[in-house]
Structure 1
Amino acid sequence: EEEKPPGPFEVTEDIVWRVVNRSHTGADGIFVQATFRTFAYEVSRLYAEAEKAGLEHEQLQSRLRELVYAFIDGSYPMEDGTDINNLYFQYLIYVNDQFDLTNPLERAQFNVWRGEYVRRLLGIVSDRKYPLLRSTYDERWGRTCYSRLVFTVYISSQESELRPQIADIGARTCLIDEEGNRYLPSGTAGPYPYEFDRPEMDVLDGEVVYRVFFPNRRADRKTPIVSDESKKIELVIERLGSEPERRLTWNLPLQYPEMPGRRLNLSSLDTGVQLPK
């Protein structure tokens, strides 16, 4: 069976992927690629996946809700700050400090409050006054996913004779702002968001993928690392293979293409995809 050509949302997602990806090949042959997983990228990815799977628009909305729930229900170190910890802590501290999770009525009230948060956010995402893909949706979503700068890192040693140590690769991955300040990743499994993000091998012989989260705030807990005024951000991997460091740079703000539409069924719409100017 002949493979269908990519649909307009798939084409757009491919453009967005290039906007958020950076790569580096060292003299030692080791290849590194990092994806800056902005909320706009995640939105374009879910649209493309839904289009390819032939889903209805309501099914796409369900997947968008699942993405938001994954972040707002996530487990985060308390050092990140209670104001950007998961919504359960937010509710406990700011809404009802006597909240009893085992009480069905109180749990139902919490779930209504939590659902309203998601409904409001997706309303902001789909606001027709703004492009669907943009740098900022609100103070927690845009460059960040729930106040966290999220990166997926892919490393390949397939074209290298080296077999580098990667047991502590997360701890050797840091973020550098335009002033040169360094930030370490934060997670529940050392530098990794969760235990399943930790590479399973100690020595790289082939390929590996891992994630790192950086709370978007400096030591003062108020100033964001990346803001509307930021001109660049860098992800650095130290002491991998024979290179002292590998530096991947994103110039900001990222320029996203226009989406071909807001609903999955584009039969009555122009499906031409506009490249960012």
Structure 2
Amino acid sequence: MALLLLCIALLATGCGSGSSQGPYAQVEQEVWREVNAGQRGSDGVSVQATLNTFAYEISRAYARAEREDLGQEQLEYRIKRAIYAYVDGTYPAADGTDINSLYFQYLVYVNPSFDARNPLQKKQFDIWRDLYVQRLVDAIYDRKFPILRPMYDERWGLTLYSRLVFTVYLSNEDADAPIKPEIANIGSRTFLVNQRGERFAPSGNFNSYPYESDRPEGEVLDGKTYYRVFFPNRKDDKKTPIVQPDDDYVELHIEGLGNEPLRKLRWDLPFDYPEMPERKLPSDEEVFARKEAERAERRAAAAAARAEGE
């Protein structure tokens, strides 16, 4: 779980409002506008939600690598860490064996007698797990497709590891209101609604939240807060997608927040992602060489300045 929280902090939090003006940061801003929906009620309570698609997470990783002046290898390492966070996550068994952790899948489909305490079997599992992640990274960079696109494989695209992941931001602009909106159980009042009007509750390990850390802070909305909800993209039959590849839209419904009995947020599908400036960043070696050259140039300039002053 610690790894999951770390990778979420690296890739999946925030409102996409960074101030960097680099080309990848600009792409991130465009993608953020595409995957966000908002609503402000007459009571001054604002809701903004991000549908955390895989393309959005990739755009954020590129923008952050650009700001931190990282190379391609470090970028891919971070993307892999984020993927591991989802495939190694702890999920309710009711989600269905096909979209639980890779460990559970390995135990069910590959080696039912797998014993993680056996060093040889553990090594075999780690190799299998690493190959899964590498295949997904290879799919990102498949030259037949743009880097940012609606689908990478059957589990990654609109979904993150077969889950529709929403980060919901709440803001109460009326700080002097005598009654603050109750938000302690807001997750249980948040529903995914597909274009056929079918409604689905979120799935989580901590009530309606993926983890305890995903619940909003406080019992009432006094200022700003946020929460996350996951929706496995499977109906009760464990095979029919809730949101299908040819669907035109999906909605998030929040009941009983403030004075509004129902708040609706809508995303039109498929998303229209921008093109990346380049498919890959300079290599780590190239970044290191450039930084060394810049340091040498600064040292030479400083030495020349000292010589002039003598």
Settle same-fold status: TM greater than 0.5: yes
Displacement of 1:5: 5.4
| Residue equivalent to 1:135 | 150
Q: Deviations over 1:176-225 (max 9, x none)?
A: 00011000000100110011111231111111111000000122221111
| Residue equivalent to 2:277 | 260
Unaligned 5+ segments in structure 2 are 1-18, 287-310
**Share of identical aligned residues, percent?**
56
| Residue equivalent to 2:4 | none
| Residue equivalent to 1:30 | 45
| Residue of 43, 50, 56 corresponding to 1:41 | 56
Which piece of structure 1 moves more, 236-245 or 95-104?
A: 95-104
RMSD of aligned residue pairs (Cα, Å): 1.4
- Counterpart code for 2:227: Y
| Residue equivalent to 2:90 | 75
The correspondence of residues 206-221 of structure 1 with structure 2, limited to 5 A, is 206-221=223-238
TM-score (norm 1): 0.93
Matches of 2:248 and 2:203, distance apart in 1 = 23
| Residue equivalent to 2:297 | none
Unaligned 5+ segments in structure 1 are 268-277
Matches of 2:266 and 2:93, distance apart in 1 = 29
| Residue of 10, 18, 21 corresponding to 2:36 | 21
Going from structure 1 to structure 2, the CA distance change for 1:5 and 1:240 (only over 3 Å counts) comes to closer
Which piece of structure 1 moves more, 97-106 or 20-29?
A: 97-106
| Residue equivalent to 1:223 | 240
| Residue equivalent to 2:213 | 196
Matches of 1:159 and 1:37, distance apart in 2 = 28
Matches of 2:20 and 2:130, distance apart in 1 = 37
Matches of 2:21 and 2:118, distance apart in 1 = 49
Q: Deviations over 1:216-267 (max 9, x none)?
A: 0122221111122100100011000000011000011111111111112399
Which piece of structure 1 moves more, 54-63 or 192-201?
A: 192-201
**For 1:217, what is the secondary structure of its paired residue?**
coil
Matches of 1:157 and 1:228, distance apart in 2 = 36
Q: Is 1:244 the equivalent of 2:261? A: yes
Going from structure 1 to structure 2, the CA distance change for 1:28 and 1:114 (only over 3 Å counts) comes to same
Displacement of 1:103: 1.3
Q: Is 1:144 the equivalent of 2:156? A: no
| Residue equivalent to 2:173 | 158
- Counterpart code for 1:194: Y
Matches of 1:5 and 1:243, distance apart in 2 = 36
**For 1:176, what is the secondary structure of its paired residue?**
strand
Matches of 1:7 and 1:88, distance apart in 2 = 39
| Residue equivalent to 2:185 | 168
Displacement of 1:159: 3.4
- Counterpart code for 2:152: Y
| Residue equivalent to 1:232 | 249
**For 2:143, what is the secondary structure of its paired residue?**
coil
- Counterpart code for 1:69: Y
| Residue equivalent to 1:271 | none
Matches of 1:228 and 1:175, distance apart in 2 = 16
**For 1:149, what is the secondary structure of its paired residue?**
strand
| Residue equivalent to 1:181 | 198
Going from structure 1 to structure 2, the CA distance change for 1:92 and 1:5 (only over 3 Å counts) comes to closer
Q: Deviations over 1:7-28 (max 9, x none)?
A: 1100000000000001100000
Displacement of 1:105: 1.4
**For 2:112, what is the secondary structure of its paired residue?**
coil
> If you compute each CA radius of gyration, which structure gives the higher value, 1 or 2?
2
Whichever structure has more helix as a proportion of its residues is 2
Number of residues paired by the alignment?
264
Contact 2:209 2:229 in 1 (8 A): yes
Contact 2:20 2:67 in 1 (8 A): no
TM-score (norm 2): 0.83
Q: Deviations over 1:113-167 (max 9, x none)?
A: 0000000011011101001111111000000000000000000013352411001
| Residue equivalent to 2:121 | 106
